[in-house]
Structure 1
């Protein structure tokens, strides 16, 4: 009997212990499932090529880019999966997890086939500027057709999780924050020098924004811009004086130093700050203030902060990829990032936030510089192209006014004229494709019919198809030769499907992120699904990217 009782008692203890382990295991799993970051920070650096991480690596400190690289996860082979690689589509794609084919932001500006006018990706005539009397800052995300992960977080948290978007550019603040954001703020230059918003978000600026604007921070950045370190140590760049850079009005040469206070009146007032590293500094200042004033990341309901550093783009367009100005801009941005990260550590807490950093596109080396180095490159004359094409169409079809618009390397045909001349759309498209492929600097030509009926799995054709929106895109799509641009002969630009435009950084850091790196190819549309999976929320409603599960801890 004692033996049976002993067996029963031991069995009871075993079952209790096992049951307790199950309860503990379930509790641990529940804690892990609900251990979300208090704040997600999405950082976009405008016009940042991937090699800016490696080229300037030895000039960076340990608290900015290197902190993300060494303590976070580095996706070294990250690319855009579409063209055109512009700011508007880039910001929309990062945060929606899909391409222009679905979210509809096909460019910064595009020709609208229905209104017969060029439209801007963030313009909205139904709203008004708030914080400025200007009529030109009537902005909202209404042209973006899908949600962002910030939208999905707002829905998931019953609108208790905040979303704030910040940038120098309106589109850099508005598109990432999504449709349901609490606010998006951008910098109004000219004679104002303030951060503003629109009535889409609110009817008046919060007191903290008014206080920030009243500090005249913008005025403080109208100072001398010289290299942070001895210019002779900037060996990662070309010579300071060359023929490949634009510079500022009022200064004869594009060489350091630049006295911004003196140059201000000749360069659209406070707008000059945008085209210097100090534009990034004032964005960092404003973002740090927003974290504190909006109490972002102060509770267990996840908030989202999007920050786009746009001055890198202005500097790149003006001075070019190989300039000492672009090197100094990134050295200074690295220090602004360190300030932002320190503020996140202090206000939100180390390990309490998740952050990613990427870019909206890269940039081409100045073609004139490439030509001087005997590398194939060139410039495309749009006026000559249009003149030549019109002459062909008149001769081929004995008709005029068949072209309605040419924009973003797309040709829009005039449907009314086609009907008047009794021409078939397919025949005209076919004729143009076979004609234009023979023109100088044209590498490939495709019709909308091809984009709609064929399925491409790779190459430039797949990129074109992912950037093609049936309702908004044109009838003919042009692809220029690599490193051939429609631009001035000074400064850099972007927009192509070449790797100098598609290959951009992607760094993840913080709560829920492993340390490491990969050379596996990732795509820009993978970011939003990955953040959504980390948060346990629905993916953006048009998302087509993949979850990068290998970097989630």
Structure 2
């Protein structure tokens, strides 16, 4: 079948081997236009920590190399404590921290939820009959603030907003409440809200991805700089990670998702939809949002320091270059912002070999179900009085009589605070009494970090912070081997990069926040910020000019 040139370019991005991808050179330098760009491209690379950026930046030759010629902020912060996917994505285009967005975690406990497990997913409508936190209807109802796309439409209703991502929560939290196209991967296909008609590009990409998954993937090439990182790390008697090259059997959709192939598909979709819709070509400024999720799946499945992550980052760099090459061909004046929703921490078994023997896995006894069961037995309570996460919000059943509930709360706090793997326990009263911080994020106290993730109607009765390098995965043989979500800077720090053709690049090593991205882009495209936010505009002019004015 013969496609039009833009669609062919996007499908070529999907079909080509990511490891064989050729470098996409940045266009020749010209003076930056005085007028606002006609297209804003915002890319979130899930779990792309500042540590990964620093480790690999000398190897970049493709899209990330281009972005490094712009404004580079290597010490960006997802400054809050709940360093998970949904809270992180809620900050990127809202200018607001989770305490304001209402997205306090990927999941929280609501004892009034119409379901047995009382768990609510951040991007669902739990009121839909028959839904569960695992089988849910995707919704933006829990996001309490507008996003950049909504600011743009308020200023110019003809502006278009397109959000595509590997995860529903990434697409929804960055896209906001008013999108023209919103698509994500549900494990089987690219889907959207019920009743939305798929553009031709989505249909073609679904067919292409189905065919791709149906074919076996041979081991990917190992770049020379990845060879020293290729070392098998035993996890239990039968499982190893660290020396893989993404070989997979035909039909294995899970392995497809945790590989460079997945980002290739999502970036190709973004390229194809942008060209099909002629984003930036209709006299109005448009917004293209892309959530690349494979780095997160690779980090969870294999850790952050083996051959798998090395190949993934190399491939991501090349694929971003191909995305920009497609956009270059449109002739549109576009600006790019790239960041991440959170960082990540490697598996403790490899930390032990790499000079960090203090790293450990969480004691299973810290699981709220285990702690709650012990408390129930001691106090003679029927049922488990605790819910939540041992590395975050913990809830006490509000249906208990007050005197009994107070005893459960005191007992639970005491047990967690006494455990040697716990750094601190912070109560609702302590957190809410803490003023919102005004200082640079690396200076924040633990309570200030917790405060910026805390929303009283959704957060726990107390919050637990594990000690540094304690991974909240007890058994790596049953699923994920590594994760994120802590109060610590390896999970909070992410790169923030801005690029536009003709701009004079600079690097600012001082800390900034992901909540600064939305007001920075709003100023660049001359769109007012219509609500109170937490972020500030970052001046992207390397000289005496000021893009914030």
TM bracket, shorter-chain basis = 0.7 to 0.9
CA contact (8 A) 1:43 1:308 kept: yes
Gaps of 5+ in 1: 1-31, 129-134
Q: When the two structures are superposed, what TM-score results if normalisation uses the length of structure 1?
A: 0.82
1:354 to 335, 338, 342: 335
CA contact (8 A) 1:38 1:303 kept: yes
User: Is residue 304 from structure 1 mapped to residue 287 from structure 2 by the alignment?
Assistant: yes
2:392 to 404, 409, 415: 409
Cα offsets for 1:105-141 (capped at 9, x unmatched) = 111121123216111111236789xxxxxx9463121
CA contact (8 A) 1:38 1:348 kept: no
CA contact (8 A) 1:110 1:118 kept: yes
How many residues of Structure 1 are paired with residues of Structure 2 in the alignment? 492
Cα offsets for 1:83-110 (capped at 9, x unmatched) = 1101111111111111111111111121
User: Is residue 454 from structure 1 mapped to residue 452 from structure 2 by the alignment?
Assistant: no
Cα offsets for 1:259-283 (capped at 9, x unmatched) = 4234x3xxxx423211110001111
TM-fit CA distance, 1:428: 5.2
Distance in 1 separating the partners of 2:33 and 2:247: 54
Distance in 2 separating the partners of 1:460 and 1:225: 46
1:75 to 50, 59, 73: 73
SS in structure 2 opposite 1:76?
A: strand
CA contact (8 A) 2:76 2:494 kept: yes
Quickly say closer, same or farther: Cα 1:374–1:73, change in 2 above 3 A. Answer: closer
Cα offsets for 1:503-537 (capped at 9, x unmatched) = 11100011695521101210111111111122222
Quickly say closer, same or farther: Cα 1:378–1:256, change in 2 above 3 A. Answer: closer
Q: When the two structures are superposed, what TM-score results if normalisation uses the length of structure 2?
A: 0.82
2:350 to 348, 353, 369: 369
Distance in 1 separating the partners of 2:520 and 2:164: 22
Cα offsets for 1:217-263 (capped at 9, x unmatched) = 65278442534345x5415x533322259999xxx87644444234x
- Point out the structure with max Rg over C-alpha: 1
SS in structure 2 opposite 1:301?
A: coil
Aligned residue in 1 for 2:318: 335
TM-fit CA distance, 1:464: 0.5
SS in structure 1 opposite 2:401?
A: helix
TM-fit CA distance, 1:54: 2.9
CA contact (8 A) 2:86 2:170 kept: yes
Aligned residue in 1 for 2:416: 436
CA contact (8 A) 2:174 2:289 kept: yes
Distance in 2 separating the partners of 1:122 and 1:385: 25
CA contact (8 A) 1:80 1:502 kept: yes
CA contact (8 A) 2:471 2:482 kept: no
Quickly say closer, same or farther: Cα 1:214–1:415, change in 2 above 3 A. Answer: closer
Gaps of 5+ in 2: 1-31, 438-443
Aligned residue in 2 for 1:57: 57
User: Is residue 519 from structure 1 mapped to residue 509 from structure 2 by the alignment?
Assistant: yes
**RMSD of aligned C-alpha atoms?**
2.9
Please give the residue correspondences for 1:76-475 in structure 2 after superposition, counting only pairs within 5 Å: 76-115=74-113, 117-124=118-125, 136=135, 138-158=137-157, 160-190=158-188, 194-199=189-194, 202-215=195-208, 218-219=211-212, 222-230=215-223, 233-235=225-227, 238-243=229-234, 255-262=243-250, 264=251, 269-349=252-332, 352-372=333-353, 373-383=355-365, 385-386=367-368, 387-388=370-371, 390-392=373-375, 395=378, 399=381, 401=383, 403-407=385-389, 409-419=392-402, 422-423=403-404, 425=406, 429-455=409-435, 457=437, 458-475=444-461
SS in structure 1 opposite 2:289?
A: strand
CA contact (8 A) 2:242 2:303 kept: no
